[in-house]
Chain A
Amino acid sequence: DIQVTQSPSSLSASVGDRVTITCRTSQSISDYLNWYQQTPGKAPKLLIYGASNLQSGVPSRFSGSGSETDFTLTISSLQPEDFATYYCQQTYDSYPFGQGTKVEI
């Protein structure tokens, strides 16, 4: 099975900060990597699919990059509504999620 390692598990940031979250896989997955945002008590929301494609309706301050085994989600200027938990998901071999990154103040 392909392992997915997401880091950090949590981070503290302020409004306006640039935030970067990393996802690493144990084998190459090309660009089969998606990113989700989840706020407490809510279902996850798709942000990025195929490593770098912004889902319709998602603000442009979110971006994704990477390929093969190393991927990054970047929030260019953190907004109050962005304080949430973020998950990556590889879909090359089965569909496991990363462990999550909680972005807090």
Chain B
Amino acid sequence: QVQLVQSGAEVKKPGASVKVSCKASENTFNTYYVHWVRQAPGQGLEWMGIINPSGETTNYAHKFQGRVTLTRDLSTTTVYMELSNLRFDDTAVYYCGRRMRGAPYDALDIWGQGTMVTVSS
């Protein structure tokens, strides 16, 4: 079964940017939509955005519009999430997730292991 492997933990200063990667073990990953979700320490899940298979179309949660950018590199089966102008409350685990096919419900059936991003001065 396909696995999604995310990049390692990051520590950033306020105002900086972070770019997290999500790489799949199979080329079929390039035919799937990919979501990004984050989870602050001790908190719930927060949806951030989605990118289509070609990478040409993205949809972001209102809260993150203007600060988040999703991109993908089809040649390396990798999707990226970049968050700019980081604030202390952006400290969280960031997950990528594959949107399942065969049903119209946009469920995330396979998840990456998560990437911890810490914003600290």
Q: Which residues of A contact B (CB under 8 A)?
A: 1, 31-34, 36, 38, 43-46, 49-50, 53, 55, 87, 89, 91, 94-100
Contacts and interface: CB of A to CB of B under 8 A. Distances in A.
A50 B113 CA distance: 24
Interface of B: 35, 37, 44-47, 50, 61-62, 95, 97, 100, 103-109, 111-114
B47 A94 contact: yes
Contacts of A55: 107, 109
Contacts of B113: 43
A47 B107 CA distance: 10
A48 B19 CA distance: 31
Contacts of B50: 95
Contacts of B35: 95
B61 A100 contact: no
Contact of A43 (B46, B95, B105): B95
Given A43-B114, A44-B111, A94-B61, A50 B105 contact: yes
A95 B47 contact: yes
A95 to B, nearest CB: 4
Contact of B45 (A45, A46, A87, A94): A87
B106 A95 contact: yes
